[in-house]
Amino acid sequence: MREQMFELIRRQRSCVLATTLDDRPHCSLMGYLADPEAGRIHLVTLPGTRKYRNLQANPHCSLLIDDRGGADRGRTRALTVEGRCTTVSDGERAAILARRLEAAHPHLAGLLHHPDRVILEVAVRRLILLDGPEDAYVETFS
């Protein structure tokens, strides 16, 4: 089941990022790019956003990735990715990730070329796959 979870992360390109601050939840629709092992997920934002302020105060977050747009609409899978978010501070690495994000998400070019853009990296800690309305599978990583 672990490989099916990783495949869903690698195959999809958008997610809902959930953050919190002072017990107030906030969700953001995001384009993302996973590393080949699907253990790290990269996103882009600006420092003035609520999601960024939330993550600076509380780096624990979750992502919801699903396959609603898939061919089999009768069997929806939803994957919750729990992780810890950091900013990519290495300028060269951030530039490489920005180019890869732009290749995957050309519609984000303006944001990715913004001088203040921030590349976020979510280190995957736990995966919860809901396979239909009743079956759940959990994988935890150190």
Q: How do the domains of the chain map onto residue ranges?
A: 2-140
Residue 105 has pLDDT above 90, yes or no: yes
Predicted TM-score of the model (pTM)? 0.93
> What is the arithmetic mean of pLDDT over 79-101?
97
pLDDT digits (tens, 9 = 90+) for 115-132: 999 999 999 999 999 988
Rounded CA gap, 55 and 48, in Å? 12
- Count other C-beta atoms under 10 Å from residue 5's C-beta: 22
Closest C-alpha to 139, from 59, 84, 79, 85:
79
What sections of 47-140 are H helices per DSSP? 50-57, 91-104, 109-112
Could you tell me which CATH class the domain 2-140 is placed in? mainly beta
Residues 8-43 pLDDT 10s: 999 999 999 999 999 999 999 999 999 999 999 999
Cα 111 versus chain centre, distance? 16
